[in-house]
Structures are given as structure tokens and as C-alpha cells.
């Protein structure tokens, strides 16, 4: 593979947190970048309303040993954090099959190693990129507090914490009394806690995308608001197709979140990215109720003190991108919010649902296309797109400018070619 010379033109499709970050890093390398989005940058995808955590210690794939049984139990539980509408089961089965195959043995271990490679140093990477973009103040280093309600739930995750510690992620165990001192507004239901140091939070995820986008524009990145319908190889370069009109570039990057799949399919490339819906509620003026990011281990839910308010959310619904939000999920989320933070009982909040772009092995595709050397992908960051965005930007800039394909083979799209 040949490195792309500086001054070459690059189209970046998708202006969520991943596309805006990569566009900025490519611009810094001297490329002439045009960013395309069908809507206002950061407005329509999960980059808008995520929980705002920058997670260094997130090293476990979603599919883990025993997921078949755990997943079934979650599906049967009407209050469980995993949902698949019956009508979507057929469509999502090939993805679930790959998901299950990633959950054990060497494949599972490979997933952990790839996630360690992505997430270690996430806060430092974000701080470095965002400081260069003039938005470093939007990040705060903030160790997270994981919470467990029973001895049984704690026992079920003990091996995870051991692995994190073995891998060098600082983790401190706390008991009931310490939890009350750290977070006096929590309901007194938490038996065990762990503080994970490798963590940060942002002021507001949408503000971060907007900040990166504006910083890029000021330094010469062009923006076009349009839905890209296809990428077509054109000699050594690539054409971006919009409503039949075509615009030529030396290279293109697909960073359109879960909507990347049809763009890859048009290039005859397998990209099994699936929409994993998450729900949250943001309670304005209530951020002061907690002192740090919280992870409720038994509920599949996190809480973050953000500038728009206290955000409580999470969960997984595999229903594709067309499924409308289910109001019952927000009702349940409001119930959980007041169960863990009684002062939220009866509080009004803004409801939001977003589509995480999730790969079956929980590892993003950060890769050159296997079909055409001038096409690249930065897709499938699942639960960690905000956390991994700065590292992704660095990796794509290296792939394009230095052709470091071998170094990043763990993230290659080629792993789905079978
Ligand atoms: C409830 C919830 C909580 C989360 N919490 C966290 C968290 O705390 N920390 C964390 O790290 N991650 C979190 N995530 C995950 C994170 O939000 C995502 O991984 C991340 O936002 C994905 O970013 P992206 O840029 O790849 O995709 P997107 O945000 O989906 O951006 C893709 C962009 O592409 C555009 N687009 C799509 N198709 C086209 C087209 N054909 N032409 C032009 N433009 C197109 C879209 O309009 C969109 O702007 C959370 C997600 C959810 C749902």
C-alpha cells in the first residue's frame, strides 16, 4: 500500500464524533478534507446524546463466555437491559451468530486485546486531540464509581476486576459506608463498589462534536450537508455520489455510524454493523446530585453529571434503525432513576434514544477497504465511540499517511470477509 501524499483530497462521510475527529486529524496531516453529513454535524446519531463517558478501562467485549444463557435470561426478563423485538429476530440472527462466536476461547481473548489496544490511554488521547482543537476544557478527568447491589452480583464480576488490575488499570474497592460518603444522594442499596481511575467525562457530547467541527472548519475543512448514496472507485481515487451527481477525491473514509452498512455493501464489502439502541433521560439542573460518573452494574445503566443535566441511561435494543422508540423503556428508566437516586422521584427529564453502531465482536473497524485501497472505514465503535474517537483519528491518519495497515490488523474489515 502507498501512503497518500500531503495535499491529496479526502472525503469523510459522516460528521458524528468519529468523522469529525478523523477529519481534524487528517487536516492536521496536510490533507484537503471535505466532510459530508446528511444533517447538522453531531445532531442525528448517538454522538448527540450519549452518556459522555471517556472510558480507558472498558476492555471487555459485550459477548462474553456464557452470553448465550445470560442473554436469554435478560430477554425473558421484561425489566432486563436487553431487548429484541420478535419481528427483528430473523434479520439480526446472522449478527447474533457472529456475536456468539466471539464470546469464547481465542476469539474472546482477541476481542479483549483489541479493546485494550483501543481504550488504554483514551483520556490522554482525547485530551491531546481536543486541546489541539481548542476544546480541551470540555473534558474532565473523573474516576468512575461502579456499584453492585448484592454479594452475588459482585461475585459475578470479580474476575473482570482482577483482569483489569492485572492489565494495569487502577481500581479501588469500596464498601457500603465509603459509597455513602462518596455519593450521599444514592439510595442505600449498594453493597460493593469499585472506583476505576482511567475515566473522564465531557461537558456535553454534542458540544464536543460541534467544537471539533468548528475547529476543523476554521482550519480549512470543507463541509457539505448532503446524504451520500454511494462511493464508486474511480482510477486510483474514488467518487462520492450524491443524488446522481458525482465528486472526485483521492480517497474517502466511511464514518457514517450504523448507516455505513449500505455504503460498504455498494462496494461489495461485508460490514456487519448493527444498530444497538440505547435510551436515556436527562434531568436538567440535577447534575449536582452526583459527584462523579456512576455505573450501576446490576441495571445496565450509567449516570453522568453533564452541563445539560444529570443523564441516566443505557440498555440494548436490537431492532434496526427503523424501529420507533418504545416509551415503556423511558418509563422504566425513570423508575430506575428514582430507585437509585430517590431525589429524582417525579422529576421531569428530556428523553432520548440513539443507535450505537455495534460490531458483533465489539471491536471497531478501523481499516482500509479490502476492495479498494483508496477507501477507508472508521465504523462500529458500539458503546465506546466517544471514548475511542481520538485514538481512531490517530490510527486513520497513520493508515492514510504512513500505510500502517499491518500495525492495525486487529481492526481490519478483512476479519468479516468469510
Ligand atoms: C445511550 C447511549 C449511551 C452511550 N454512552 C457512551 C459513552 O458514555 N461513552 C462512549 O464512548 N460512547 C457512548 N455511546 C456510544 C457512542 O455514542 C457511539 O459509539 C458514537 O456516537 C458513534 O459515533 P459515530 O460518529 O461512529 O456515529 P454517529 O454518531 O452515528 O454519526 C454518523 C453520522 O453519519 C451521518 N450519516 C449517516 N449516513 C450518511 C450518509 N449516507 N451520508 C452522509 N451522512 C451520513 C449521520 O447523519 C451522523 O451524523 C453511547 C451510545 C448510546 C446510544
349/301 same-domain check: yes
349/299 same-domain check: yes
Q: Is the dihedral of CA 56, 332, 340, 71 positive or negative?
A: negative
| Domain span holding position 327 | 57-105+141-200+273-357
Query: Ligand 1, residues 386, 387, 393, 395: which to mutate, most atoms within 8 A of Cβ?
Result: 386
101/150 same-domain check: yes
The answer to whether the CB of 184 falls within 8 A of the CB of 28 is no
CA of 265 to the centre of ligand 1 (A): 19
Q: Which of 341, 357, 373 is the last residue of a domain?
A: 357
126 is a domain residue: no
190/75 same-domain check: yes
CA of 150 to the centre of ligand 1 (A): 34
* Structure confidence by residue, pLDDT tens digits, 224-259: 999 999 999 999 999 999 998 999 999 999 999 999
Query: Residue 47: is its pLDDT beyond 90?
Result: yes
Q: Is 385 in the pocket of ligand 1 (CB under 6 A)?
A: yes
pLDDT at residue number 2? 87
Q: Which of 313, 338, 357 is the last residue of a domain?
A: 357
pLDDT at residue number 48? 98
Q: Which of 340, 357, 374 is the last residue of a domain?
A: 357
Query: Residue 125: is its pLDDT beyond 80?
Result: yes
Looking at residue 259, which CATH number applies to its domain? 3.50.50.60
Query: Residue 315: is its pLDDT beyond 80?
Result: yes
- In b/e form, how buried is each residue of 179-205, taking b as 16+ CB within 10 angstroms? beebbeebeeebebbbbbebbbbbbbb
Total domains in the chain come to: 2
69 is a domain residue: yes
306/231 same-domain check: no
279 is a domain residue: yes
- In b/e form, how buried is each residue of 291-325, taking b as 16+ CB within 10 angstroms? ebbbbbbbbbbbbbbbebbbbbbbbbbbbbeebee
Quote the DSSP letter at residue 244: T
Mean pLDDT score of the chain: 96
295/352 same-domain check: yes
248/331 same-domain check: no
Q: Is 37 in the pocket of ligand 1 (CB under 6 A)?
A: yes
Query: Residue 25: is its pLDDT beyond 90?
Result: yes
222 is a domain residue: yes
Query: Ligand 1, residues 226, 292, 323, 385: which to mutate, most atoms within 8 A of Cβ?
Result: 385
Q: Is 387 in the pocket of ligand 1 (CB under 6 A)?
A: yes
* Structure confidence by residue, pLDDT tens digits, 318-365: 989 998 999 999 999 999 999 999 999 999 999 999 999 999 999 999
Query: Residue 293: is its pLDDT beyond 80?
Result: yes
pLDDT at residue number 370? 95
Across 32-57, average pLDDT:
98
Q: Which of 47-51, 79-83, 120-124 has the lowest mean pLDDT?
A: 79-83
Residue 83 pLDDT grade (very low, low, confident, very high; cuts 50, 70, 90): confident
Q: What are phi and psi of 172, to 5 degrees?
A: -120, 130
pLDDT at residue number 261? 97
Q: Is 257 in the pocket of ligand 1 (CB under 6 A)?
A: yes
Q: Is 365 in the pocket of ligand 1 (CB under 6 A)?
A: no
Q: Is 156 in the pocket of ligand 1 (CB under 6 A)?
A: no
Residue nearest to atom 35 of ligand 1 (CA): 14
Across 210-230, average pLDDT:
98
pLDDT at residue number 80? 74
123 is a domain residue: no
CA of 16 to the centre of ligand 1 (A): 6
Q: How close are the terminal C-alpha atoms of the chain, in Å?
A: 22
115 is a domain residue: no
Residue nearest to atom 9 of ligand 1 (CA): 53
Q: Point out which residues pair with 242 in neighbouring strands.
A: 245
Across 92-117, average pLDDT:
96
* Structure confidence by residue, pLDDT tens digits, 128-183: 999 999 999 999 999 999 999 999 999 999 999 999 999 999 999 999 999 999 99
pLDDT at residue number 86? 84
pLDDT at residue number 87? 86
CA of 228 to the centre of ligand 1 (A): 17
Residue nearest to atom 50 of ligand 1 (CA): 50
Looking at residue 81, which CATH number applies to its domain? 3.30.9.10
Query: Residue 193: is its pLDDT beyond 80?
Result: yes
Within 10 Å of residue 127's Cβ, how many Cβ atoms? 17
Q: Is 53 in the pocket of ligand 1 (CB under 6 A)?
A: yes
70/192 same-domain check: yes
pLDDT at residue number 118? 98
pLDDT at residue number 310? 98
User: Which atom, in ligand 1's list, is nearest to the CA of 381?
Assistant: 19
116 is a domain residue: no
155/96 same-domain check: yes
Q: Is 210 in the pocket of ligand 1 (CB under 6 A)?
A: no
38/185 same-domain check: no
Exposed/middle/buried for residue 90 (C-beta within 10 Å: 0-12, 13-18, 19+): exposed
229 is a domain residue: yes
Q: Is 293 in the pocket of ligand 1 (CB under 6 A)?
A: no
218/263 same-domain check: yes
Q: Is 52 in the pocket of ligand 1 (CB under 6 A)?
A: yes
E-assigned strand segments in 255-368: 274-283, 294-296, 301-306, 309-317, 350-358, 365-368
Q: Is 39 in the pocket of ligand 1 (CB under 6 A)?
A: yes
Question: Which among 404, 281, 294 is positioned nearest to 346, based on CA atoms?
Answer: 281
326/368 same-domain check: no
- Percentage of the residues of the chain whose pLDDT score is greater than 70: 100
Amino acid at each position: 500500500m502507498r501512503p497518500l501524499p500531503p495535499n491529496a483530497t479526502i472525503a469523510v462521510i459522516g460528521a458524528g464524533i468519529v468523522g469529525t475527529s478523523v477529519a481534524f486529524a487528517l487536516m492536521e496531516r496536510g490533507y484537503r478534507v471535505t466532510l459530508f453529513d446528511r444533517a447538522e454535524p453531531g445532531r442525528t446519531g448517538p454522538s448527540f446524546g450519549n452518556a459522555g463517558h471517556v472510558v480507558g478501562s472498558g476492555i471487555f467485549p459485550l459477548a462474553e463466555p456464557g452470553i448465550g444463557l445470560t442473554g436469554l435470561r435478560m430477554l425473558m426478563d421484561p425489566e432486563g437491559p436487553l431487548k429484541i423485538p420478535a419481528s427483528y429476530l430473523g434479520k439480526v440472527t446472522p449478527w447474533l451468530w457472529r456475536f456468539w462466536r466471539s464470546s469464547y476461547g481465542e476469539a474472546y481473548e482477541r476481542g479483549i486485546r483489541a479493546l485494550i489496544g483501543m481504550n488504554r490511554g483514551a483520556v490522554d488521547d482525547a485530551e491531546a486531540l481536543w486541546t489541539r482543537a481548542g476544546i480541551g476544557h470540555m473534558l474532565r478527568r473523573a474516576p468512575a464509581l461502579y456499584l453492585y447491589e448484592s454479594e452475588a452480583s459482585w461475585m459475578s464480576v470479580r474476575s473482570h476486576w482482577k483482569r483489569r488490575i492485572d492489565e494495569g488499570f487502577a481500581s479501588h474497592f469500596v464498601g457500603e459506608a465509603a459509597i455513602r460518603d462518596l455519593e450521599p444522594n444514592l439510595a442505600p442499596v449498594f453493597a460493593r463498589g469499585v472506583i476505576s481511575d482511567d475515566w473522564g467525562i465531557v461537558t456535553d457530547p454534542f458540544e464536543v462534536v460541534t467544537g471539533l467541527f468548528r475547529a476543523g472548519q476554521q482550519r480549512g475543512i470543507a463541509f457539505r450537508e448532503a446524504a451520500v448514496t454511494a462511493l464508486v472507485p474511480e482510477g486510483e481515487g474514488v467518487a462520492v455520489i450524491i443524488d446522481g451527481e458525482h465528486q472526485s477525491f483521492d480517497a474517502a473514509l466511511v464514518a457514517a455510524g450504523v448507516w455505513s452498512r449500505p455504503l460498504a455493501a455498494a462496494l461489495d464489502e461485508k460490514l456487519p454493523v448493527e444498530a444497538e439502541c440505547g435510551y436515556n433521560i436527562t434531568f436538567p439542573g440535577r447534575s449536582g446530585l452526583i459527584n462523579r460518573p456512576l455505573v450501576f452494574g446490576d441495571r445496565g445503566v450509567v449516570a453522568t453529571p453533564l452541563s445539560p443535566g444529570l443523564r441516566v441511561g443505557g440498555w440494548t435494543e436490537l431492532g434496526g434503525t427503523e424501529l420507533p422508540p418504545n416509551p415503556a423503556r423511558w418509563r422504566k428508566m425513570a423508575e430506575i432513576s428514582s430507585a437509585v437516586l430517590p431525589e429524582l422521584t417525579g422529576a421531569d427529564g428530556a428523553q432520548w434514544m440513539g443507535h450505537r453502531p455495534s460490531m458483533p465482536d465489539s471491536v471497531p473497524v478501523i481499516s482500509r477497504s479490502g476492495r479498494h485501497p483508496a477507501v477507508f472505514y472508521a465504523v462500529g465503535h458500539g458503546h465506546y465511540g466517544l471514548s475511542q474517537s481520538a485514538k481512531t483519528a490517530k490510527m486513520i491518519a497513520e493508515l492514510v499517511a504512513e500505510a500502517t495497515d499491518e500495525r492495525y490488523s486487529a481492526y481490519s474489515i478483512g476479519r468479516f470477509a468469510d
